[in-house]
Structure 1
Amino acid sequence: MTTELRRLRNYIDGEFRDAADGRTTEVVNPVTGEAYASAPLSAAADVDAAMDAAKAAFPAWRDLIPAERQKVLLKIADAFEERAEELIAVESENTGKPLGLTRTEEIPPMVDQIRFFAGAARLLEGRSAGEYMEGLTSIVRREPIGVCAQVAPWNYPMMMAVWKFAPALAAGNTVVLKPSDTTPASTVLMAEIIGGVLAELGHPKGVFNVVCGDRDTGRLMVEHPVPAMASITGSVRAGMQVAESASKDLKRVHLELGGKAPVVVFEDTDLAKAVEDISTAGFFNAGQDCTAATRVLVHESIHDEFVTALAKAAADTKTGAPDDDDVLYGPLNNANQLAQVAGFIDRLPAHAKVEAGGERVGDKGYFYAPTVVSGLKQDDEIIQKEVFGPVITVQSFSSEEQAIEYANGVEYALASSVWTKNHARAMRLSKALDFGCVWINTHIPLVAEMPHGGFKKSGYGKDLSAYGFEDYTRVKHVMTSLEG
C-alpha cells in the first residue's frame, strides 16, 4: 500500500496552481530517504504566467510610497512569527534540520531581516542635490529595477528566500522566486503567508510569485525577457550559467556562490575555546553552509594538540533525527550530496589521515558522521574544492606569511576567520585575507546590518545590509535648468 504524497503547488498571481502540463517531481525527506510530497515541475508556460503576473503588478508596487511597502513587510514579519511552528515543522521535513535549532537559529534572524529591510525602504540615502554646471541643478533618483527572477538554494530554504524577496520588495520590485527542487515545501508555505498579507492590505496579487521546478525551470526564468535582474544563491557552476544566460540580454545579476572559508588559528589563541567554536561552526547544518568553518589552518606549534582536541569534539558531536534535542545537525540534503561528501573521503590521498568520522551514519536517510581530516597539502582536492558537508580539514603553517598564502590559495573568497590574541596581527590578517568577510576570534555570526558576499568565484553582489538593499535599485540622474 502506497502513501499518498502531499501536493505542493506553484503560487502565481495570488493563486495556487499545478504546472500547466501537469508534470510533477517527488520531494524526499532526507531523514528517511522516502518521498513525502510532490511539487510542480514547471515549464515555459508556468514561467510565462508568473512573469506576466509580476510585470503587471510592478507599476502599482513601484509607485507605492516606501512607508506603505514597509507596512507590508512588517506585517509579513509578524505573520512569520505567528506561524513560526508551522514554518519550523515544514522546514524540518524539507531539510531534516533539528526542530529546536530551526526555532532558535533561523526564525528569529529571518523575522529580524524582514524588519530590517522594512526600515531600509524608508532610508534610501543618496548624494544631495547640487549645481555642477552653472544654471543647472542635478539630483539622483534611486528606483526599483523591475521584475526580479530569484533562485534559492536547499541549504537554508526559508532564510535564503528571505534574503532575496525582502530587499527586492522593499525597494519596489516584484518577484518570481524558485526554491530548490529538493526543498520547495517551506517556500510554498511562505507564499501562502505573503499572499495573504498582500490580499489583506489590497495590493496586487502578482507582487510575489513562487514557481517550483528543476534546473531547467531556473534556466527559463533567467532567460525570460521580462526580468530585469536575476539573483541566485548556489554553486559556482550554476552561477556561471546564470551569468552567461543573463548576458544575452544584459540582465543585472546578483550571485552568492560557493565558499571555502579559511580558519587561521595562531599559537596564542585560547585553544579550547577555538576548538569548541570552530567545531560548531564547521558541523552546524551538516557543514552545508558556504561560510562553514571547514578549512582550518593551525600554527605548527599547536597543530597536534589542536587536531587531537578537534577529533574529540567531532566524536562528541551528534547527528540524528529532527526531534532529538541533543543533535547539532541532521542529514545531508539529498542522495547526490551524500555521494559527493563520501566521494571526497574515498578519494583522499595516501598522506591524509581521517582523525574522526569518515563514514555514513545509519542505513536510511542521508546522515554523515562529523569528520576531521589532517595531513593535507595545499593542492589536495579536498582543500581546493567545496565539500559542503560535515568535514573539517586541518593544515599546518609555520609563519604568518605562509598562513596568508594558504588561506588565499583557493578560487573562493566568501568568508574567513582569524584566531589570535594579538590585535596587530588580527588587523594585518583582516587586510591580507581576500575574502568578503573576516571574523576575528569567532566564525559564522551574521547580522542584518552588515553585508554578506564574496569575491572571485564566490560571486558578486551583497546580501543583507544597506548594500544588499541598494543592489535591488538603479540610479537615475535628473538635471533641470534653473532658468525655466
Structure 2
Amino acid sequence: MATRLKNFIDGEFVDSSATEVLDIVNPVNGEKVAEAPISTAEEIDAAFAAAQRAFTTFRRTTPSERQKMLLDLADAMEANAERLADAQHRNTGQPRATITSEEIVGGADQFRFFAGAARTLEGKAATEYVGDHTSYVRREPVGVVAQVTPWNYPLDMAVWKLGPALAAGNTVVLKPSDTTPESTLVLAELIAEIFPAGVVNIVLGDGGVGAALVGHRTPVLVAITGSVRAGRAVAQAAAEDLKLTHLELGGKAPAVVFADADLKRTARMLADFGYFNAGQDCTAVTRVLVEESVREEFTRLLVAAAEDTATGSEDDAENYFGPLNNVNHFTTVMDKLKALPEHAVVETGGRQLGEKGFFVAPTVVSGVRQDDAIVQDETFGPVLTVQGFSSEEEAVELANDVRYALASSVWTSNHGTAMRVSRDLDFGCVWVNTHVVLAAEMPHGGFKESGHGKDLSQYAVEEYTRVKHVMHDLTA
C-alpha cells in the first residue's frame, strides 16, 4: 500500500482531513509510490496561523542566531544525503548521483552562503540630512511568505526559496510540486530539529492549493518558480491585495556559437548542458545558433554528442539524465515533437525510449525557422534546435527574439566578440564558453516573461526585506 504523506504544520507532521489525494508516481517505471492530500482550506489557515505566530519571535532573532540554524541545516542535509536522494529519486527519476552532487551538496553550500548573508544586511549610515535630525535605515523582514516550488529540482528550489527568506528573518508556508513532494518533507524533518515551530510549514496539494496560498490574506510576499502561465496567475491574484511577488519563470536559452570556437568541445558541452536533467531546466540550452560557415559541421558534431548521451535505463547509475517528470509533461513534449513543421528535420532522437516510464531520446532538430513554435515556446525537454546566422548582429537579433530572457551563452575564442555579444544579449545571465554554472554568490533571475526578482546571492536576501526610514529629533 502506498504511503500517505502528511503536511508539516507548526513543527509537526499532521494527517490531512482531505478526501482528495494525488498519486505520486515514479517516472522511471510509472509505478505509484505514495499519495499526497490536496490540503483543505482549514489546513492552509492553520499553516499560515502558525507562521504568523512564529514570526512575532523569529523576526527578533539575531543574524548570528539565524546563521547558526542555517549552518546546522546545511550539515544535516549532508548527513542525510542518502535519505534525501532516495526520496527525490522516487518522485523524479533523476540519477541519485546527480541529486546528491547538485541538490544536496550544492544545496548545503547555498544554505551556508545564506547563513553568512544573514549577517551582512545594511542600510545607509546614520547622519543628519535635516538639521538637528538624525536619520538611519532599518532593513527588516517582510513578514509571512508564501512559496511554491516546481518539480524539476524539488530540493534545490526549496533551498533557493527558504534560504534567503529565513536568513532575513521571515517565516514561510511552502507548497512543493504535486508530483515531487517527498524530498521537501524529508527536509522538513531536519528543519523540525533546528528551527522553532511554525517558522517553516509545508502544505501539500495541487495547483488549487497553490492558488489558495497566493490568495490567502496572511502572506506579504509570494514567491514562485514555475511556468509563465503560473506566474501570470500569481501576479493577477497577488494584485488583489497588492502582495509583493517574486517570479522565476520560463526560459528559452540560446547558445551563440561562432566559427572560431572549439567546435568539438562546444558541441559536447552544449549536449551536456542542454540534456542535463532531461532538459527540464529553465536555464538549459535549447536554441543553438551557429555561424553559417560551420553550421553543417557543428550540427554533425552535436548529433554525435547527443547520440553519445546515455539515458533510458531503469538503473539510474547508467543514465546521464533521467525521464521526464510526469505523464502529462511527457505527452506535452511528445506532442510538440509530433507537431514540427515540414521544413524541420529531426537529426536524431524525437522518440520515446523504452515501453514504460517517461524517457525521451536526446533530440536535435535542424531546419527550424525563427517563428516556429519549437523555437519560440519553452519545450522543457531534451530537445536542441539548430539555426544558422551570418553576422554578429543577426546572431544577437535571433537570440533576443523570444519572449523569455533568463539565460544565454556565447561561444568564441575572440575576447572582443564575447564582450560585445554578452553586452547585447537581453538575458539575466550570460555565460561565455560555458553554460548553467551557478554560484551561490551570484544572482539568478531573468527579464521579460522570465519574471522578476533574483534567487541566490545577496540580492535574493534583499528581496525578502523591507526598508524603513527612522528619524530622531536631536533637540527633543
In structure 1, the residue matched to 2:354 is 362
Match of 1:289 among 263, 277, 281: 281
Distance in 1 between residues matched to 2:314 and 2:129, nearest whole Å = 61
1:275 aligns with 2:267: yes
The secondary structure found in structure 2 opposite 1:328 is: coil
Asked if 2 retains the 8 angstrom alpha-carbon contact of 1:148 and 1:231, the reply is: yes
Match of 1:380 among 364, 372, 380: 372
TM-superposed deviation, 1:312: 0.9
Structure 1 moving runs of 4+ over 3 Å: 321-324
TM-superposed deviation, 1:325: 2.4
In structure 2, the residue matched to 1:50 is 47
TM-superposed deviation, 1:21: 3.1
Q: Which amino acid is 1:334 matched to?
A: N
TM-superposed deviation, 1:43: 2.1
Match of 1:479 among 450, 460, 471: 471
Match of 2:439 among 441, 447, 454: 447
1:14 aligns with 2:6: no
1:187 aligns with 2:184: yes
Match of 1:245 among 225, 229, 237: 237
User: What runs of 5+ residues in structure 2 fail to find an aligned partner?
Assistant: none
Match of 2:156 among 156, 159, 178: 159
How big is each residue's C-alpha offset from its partner over 1:147-189, in whole Å with a ceiling of 9 and x where there is no partner?
A: 0000000000000000001110110000101000000111111
1:219 aligns with 2:216: no
Asked if 1 retains the 8 angstrom alpha-carbon contact of 2:20 and 2:37, the reply is: yes
Asked if 2 retains the 8 angstrom alpha-carbon contact of 1:98 and 1:322, the reply is: no
Distance in 1 between residues matched to 2:7 and 2:315, nearest whole Å = 29
Match of 2:114 among 86, 101, 117: 117
Distance in 2 between residues matched to 1:463 and 1:259, nearest whole Å = 15
Distance in 2 between residues matched to 1:440 and 1:371, nearest whole Å = 24
Asked if 1 retains the 8 angstrom alpha-carbon contact of 2:316 and 2:322, the reply is: no
The secondary structure found in structure 2 opposite 1:149 is: strand
In structure 1, the residue matched to 2:172 is 175
Asked if 1 retains the 8 angstrom alpha-carbon contact of 2:18 and 2:37, the reply is: no
- Residue pairs, 1:331-342, within 5 angstroms: 331-342=323-334
The secondary structure found in structure 2 opposite 1:139 is: strand
Match of 2:448 among 444, 453, 456: 456
TM-superposed deviation, 1:327: 1.4
Q: Which amino acid is 2:224 matched to?
A: I
Distance in 2 between residues matched to 1:13 and 1:104, nearest whole Å = 31
In structure 1, the residue matched to 2:136 is 139
Aligned residues: 476
- Residue pairs, 1:197-208, within 5 angstroms: 197-198=194-195, 203=196, 205-208=197-200
How big is each residue's C-alpha offset from its partner over 1:301-347, in whole Å with a ceiling of 9 and x where there is no partner?
A: 01000100111111111113464423110000001111111111101
Q: Which amino acid is 1:76 matched to?
A: L
1:314 aligns with 2:311: no
TM-superposed deviation, 1:19: 2.1
TM-superposed deviation, 1:46: 1.1
Q: Which amino acid is 2:372 matched to?
A: D
Asked if 1 retains the 8 angstrom alpha-carbon contact of 2:274 and 2:285, the reply is: yes
How big is each residue's C-alpha offset from its partner over 1:80-119, in whole Å with a ceiling of 9 and x where there is no partner?
A: 1100111011111110001122222221110000000011
Distance in 1 between residues matched to 2:323 and 2:80, nearest whole Å = 25
Distance in 2 between residues matched to 1:322 and 1:454, nearest whole Å = 35
Q: Which amino acid is 2:234 matched to?
A: V
Asked if 2 retains the 8 angstrom alpha-carbon contact of 1:97 and 1:331, the reply is: yes
Asked if 2 retains the 8 angstrom alpha-carbon contact of 1:20 and 1:45, the reply is: no
Match of 1:32 among 9, 23, 29: 29
Q: Which amino acid is 1:18 matched to?
A: D
In structure 2, the residue matched to 1:60 is 57
Match of 1:94 among 84, 91, 108: 91
Asked if 2 retains the 8 angstrom alpha-carbon contact of 1:92 and 1:322, the reply is: no
Distance in 2 between residues matched to 1:322 and 1:195, nearest whole Å = 34
Identity across aligned pairs (percent)? Answer: 59
Distance in 1 between residues matched to 2:375 and 2:287, nearest whole Å = 7
Asked if 2 retains the 8 angstrom alpha-carbon contact of 1:99 and 1:323, the reply is: no
Asked if 2 retains the 8 angstrom alpha-carbon contact of 1:97 and 1:322, the reply is: no
The secondary structure found in structure 1 opposite 2:430 is: strand
Q: Which amino acid is 1:174 matched to?
A: T
Asked if 1 retains the 8 angstrom alpha-carbon contact of 2:248 and 2:453, the reply is: yes
Q: Which amino acid is 1:453 matched to?
A: G
In structure 1, the residue matched to 2:412 is 420
Q: TM-score, normalised by structure 1?
A: 0.97
Asked if 1 retains the 8 angstrom alpha-carbon contact of 2:287 and 2:385, the reply is: yes
Asked if 2 retains the 8 angstrom alpha-carbon contact of 1:67 and 1:121, the reply is: yes
Asked if 1 retains the 8 angstrom alpha-carbon contact of 2:123 and 2:136, the reply is: no
TM-superposed deviation, 1:23: 3.0
Asked if 2 retains the 8 angstrom alpha-carbon contact of 1:167 and 1:469, the reply is: yes
Distance in 1 between residues matched to 2:373 and 2:65, nearest whole Å = 51
Distance in 1 between residues matched to 2:313 and 2:174, nearest whole Å = 29
Distance in 1 between residues matched to 2:155 and 2:18, nearest whole Å = 27
Q: Which amino acid is 1:443 matched to?
A: H
Distance in 2 between residues matched to 1:160 and 1:44, nearest whole Å = 25
Asked if 2 retains the 8 angstrom alpha-carbon contact of 1:98 and 1:321, the reply is: no
Match of 2:72 among 63, 70, 75: 75
Asked if 2 retains the 8 angstrom alpha-carbon contact of 1:136 and 1:479, the reply is: yes
How big is each residue's C-alpha offset from its partner over 1:4-59, in whole Å with a ceiling of 9 and x where there is no partner?
A: 00121100011111223343211111011121101111121111010000001001
Residues 178, 139 of structure 1: alpha-carbon distance in 2 compared, 3 angstrom cutoff: same
Report which stretch shifted further, 20-29 or 359-368: 20-29
Distance in 1 between residues matched to 2:100 and 2:389, nearest whole Å = 39
